[in-house]
């Protein structure tokens, strides 16, 4: 007799006839909580709920490890969670295949199993790199994002786009792999340098411009408090931006449609990061400049009212973000930027799609932007007569 506690599977799959088509099928829907909390204990509570096996492997960077991770590990330990910590060097240079392979090798020699939780605790570099490692290790283990930067909280932590950079193009090696949860601790954001707050704010301005006039107006109103890293202002910002990002991603989570408003500012922004060597220009700074370039193209075409263009560029200026090529803080030759866009054409099915703003909350996707238009927009110091 087979014991009652043995799981028995009984299938009767018929053999198909010679003329019957054979079709592979796979359907998956992922949902995950995005929690906005304040404090280490609240962060540990949320992570504990995501780790039914009681074991975690935390990937962070050396800066975050010194600032936050020791306290988080202690809080997890009090909740009966066993955790290990691996810290990579901070900075965009760590978002590389060599780093990912090193993490995979460390996991392979560890006791981390298929159902244990990998926790990515850091900024966009850590979230993207550790997320891609989670997608590859054992064909995918669960992971949670604990962003420690504003850009991470409002963008990189949400949406399941995980990748590492290549010298040819940013995010060239990656996957779509959703986390099991996101825990954004607002207290972590109060320890950031002002430049990191501004860079993260660029991604929120982008979301407001493409989809939420209410969010855009709230940034204009709350800007001074946000830049001063006021906890209440940051909480409002992260909550609103996270909800907006979740809604936008849900419409096309795997980018089947390459005409994505979320790419606003990223077409030129990614090219700028590539030609400047991934590091001197922060991602949010490159996106801010990319938004200004796209706005100049739209303005030159007569697609956007000058007053609306002025409103965007003025907000970038007030936020301390670059809107002219000379403000990037690193040499970015316009010819090299245009050349780098060639690889982006390849990634995007041979077409260079620009997200061009029409109004706050309204954009158009154009695939006929010429190199000449891009050159003019790159060279322009600011839109004529605007943001002076």
Q: Which residue has the tokens 């306290």?
A: 71
Residue 23 lies in a domain: no
How confident is the model at residue 194, as a pLDDT? 97
Q: Are residues 45 and 151 in the same domain?
A: yes
Asked whether the beta carbons of 356 and 181 are under 8 A apart, the reply is no
User: How far is residue 147's CA from residue 14's CA, in Å, rounded to a whole number?
Assistant: 49
Q: Are residues 315 and 184 in the same domain?
A: no
How confident is the model at residue 350, as a pLDDT? 61
Instruction: Return the active site residues.
Output: 139, 161, 203, 245, 255, 259, 263, 266, 270, 283
User: How far is residue 332's CA from residue 330's CA, in Å, rounded to a whole number?
Assistant: 6
Q: Are residues 214 and 269 in the same domain?
A: yes
Terminal-to-terminal C-alpha distance of the chain:
85
User: How far is residue 280's CA from residue 245's CA, in Å, rounded to a whole number?
Assistant: 26
Q: Are residues 225 and 148 in the same domain?
A: no
In eight-state DSSP terms, residue 101 is H
For residue 336, CA distances in Å to 95, 198, 275 come to: 22, 26, 7
How confident is the model at residue 260, as a pLDDT? 85
Q: Which residue has the tokens 């004529």?
A: 384
CB atoms within 10 A of CB 231: 13
User: How far is residue 213's CA from residue 216's CA, in Å, rounded to a whole number?
Assistant: 5
Q: Are residues 79 and 56 in the same domain?
A: yes
| Predicted structure pTM score | 0.89
The CATH number of whichever domain residue 148 belongs to comes to 3.40.50.1970
Residue 149 makes CB contacts below 8 A (sequence gap 6+) with 122, 123, 124, 188, 189, 192, 196, 199, 200
Q: Are residues 286 and 324 in the same domain?
A: yes
Per-residue pLDDT of the chain (388 residues; tens, 9 = 90+): 788 888 888 888 888 888 888 889 888 889 999 999 999 999 999 999 999 999 999 999 999 999 999 999 999 999 999 999 999 999 989 999 999 999 999 999 999 999 999 999 999 999 999 999 999 999 999 999 999 999 999 999 999 999 999 888 788 899 999 999 999 999 999 999 999 999 999 999 999 999 999 999 999 999 999 999 999 999 999 999 999 999 999 998 888 876 689 999 999 999 999 999 988 999 999 999 999 999 999 999 999 999 999 999 999 999 999 999 999 989 888 999 998 887 666 555 567 889 999 999 999 999 899 999 999 999 876 544 544 4
Return the structure tokens found at 216: 């855009």
Residue span of the structural domain in which 296 resides = 205-245+260-379
Q: Are residues 166 and 286 in the same domain?
A: no
Q: Are residues 214 and 153 in the same domain?
A: no
């Amino acid at each position: 007799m087979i014991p009652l506690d043995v799981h028995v599977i009984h299938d009767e799959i018929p053999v198909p006839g010679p003329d019957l088509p054979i079709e592979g099928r796979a359907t998956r829907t992922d949902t995950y909580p995005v929690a906005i909390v304040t404090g280490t204990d609240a962060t540990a509570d949320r992570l504990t709920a995501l780790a039914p096996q009681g074991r975690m492997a935390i990937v962070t960077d050396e800066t975050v490890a010194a600032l936050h991770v020791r306290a988080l590990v202690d809080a997890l330990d009090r909740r009966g969670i066993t955790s290990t910590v691996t810290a990579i060097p901070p900075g965009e240079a760590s978002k590389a295949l060599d780093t990912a392979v090193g993490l995979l090798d460390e996991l392979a020699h560890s006791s981390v199993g298929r159902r244990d939780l990998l926790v990515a605790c850091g900024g966009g570099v850590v979230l993207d790199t550790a997320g891609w490692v989670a997608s590859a290790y054992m064909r995918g283990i669960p992971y949670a994002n604990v962003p420690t930067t504003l850009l991470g909280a409002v963008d990189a932590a949400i949406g399941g786009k995980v990748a590492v950079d290549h010298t040819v193009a940013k995010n060239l090696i990656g996957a779509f792999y959703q986390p099991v949860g996101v825990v954004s601790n607002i207290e972590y954001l109060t320890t950031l340098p002002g430049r990191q707050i501004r860079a993260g704010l660029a991604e929120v301005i982008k979301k407001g411009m493409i989809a939420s006039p209410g969010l855009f107006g709230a940034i204009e109103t709350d800007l001074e408090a946000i830049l001063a890293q006021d906890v209440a202002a940051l909480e409002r910002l992260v909550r609103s931006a996270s909800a907006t990002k979740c809604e936008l991603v849900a419409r096309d989570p795997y980018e089947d449609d390459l005409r994505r408003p979320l790419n606003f500012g990223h077409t030129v922004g990614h090219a700028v990061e590539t030609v400047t060597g991934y590091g001197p220009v922060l991602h949010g700074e490159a996106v801010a400049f990319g938004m200004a370039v796209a706005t100049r193209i739209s303005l030159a075409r007569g697609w956007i009212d000058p007053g609306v263009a002025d409103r965007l560029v003025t907000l970038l200026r007030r936020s301390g973000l670059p809107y002219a090529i000379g403000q990037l803080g690193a040499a970015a030759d316009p010819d090299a930027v245009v050349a780098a866009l060639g690889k982006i054409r390849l990634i995007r099915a041979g077409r260079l799609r620009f997200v061009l703003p029409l109004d706050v909350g309204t954009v158009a996707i154009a695939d006929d932007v010429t190199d000449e238009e891009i050159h003019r927009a790159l060279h322009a110091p600011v839109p004529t007569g605007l943001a002076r």
